[in-house]
Amino acid sequence: MLRLGVLASGRGSNLQALIDAIEAGSLAARLSIVISDNPHAQALERARRHGAQAVVIALEGERAAFEDRLVAALFAAGVDLVVLAGFMRLLGKRFLSRLPCPVMNIHPSLLPAFRGLRAQQQALDYGVKVAGCTVHFVDEGMDTGPIILQKAVPVKENDTEADLAARILAEEHQLLPAAVRLFAEGRLRLEGRKVRILPEKQ
């Protein structure tokens, strides 16, 4: 069974979507560890309620030491996949090169458009008619890794940032478990920048 490690900085609603999928039996995975850089993150309590290990690793001192502590905790938990679910730290080459498993991220835009923070407001400021969310593998750039799944949502005429964010978040809660499920089933193949989704095994 796939062993998941999740990094989250805040509410952890995407973490909860994964937990719900696991508990419903639609995602064959075990939540091994949740790590937050924020000791007050609601994600930690969600992890504890599910019976998963909840760990706080704050960014103190050198960034390299912070990334080393993350890797050590994930390695000790024996995870097969790391998911960034609202983790508000950019992880670099040191973290990715030392981690013995892939990393996925969920981002509230249709990448490669509107990378980084406040992607929903970026979309509104640009005047797009369609926004959405993306699950991608993480590389050394900011929201630049190979795209796994995307979901579009309409931008309405009088949308505020909060309106659009809520509409996108509802789709994130479906998209992230779906992407993790494909990984757990061995149906994702990385070919250069492209992620091929293999057919379901009969």
Judge contact between 149 and 164, C-beta under 8 A.
no
Q: How far apart are CA 78 and CA 61, in angstroms?
A: 26
As a whole number of angstroms, the distance between CA 22 and CA 131 comes to 28
Under 8 Å between Cβ of 174 and 151: yes
d(CA 69, CA 136): 24
136 included as an active-site residue: no
Q: Which of 62, 34, 65, 67 is nearest to 50 (CA)?
A: 34
Tabulate helix, strand, coil % of the chain (nearest 5). Answer: 35, 25, 40
Active-site entry in 40, 50, 107, 173: 107
Instruction: Report the catalytic residues.
Output: 107
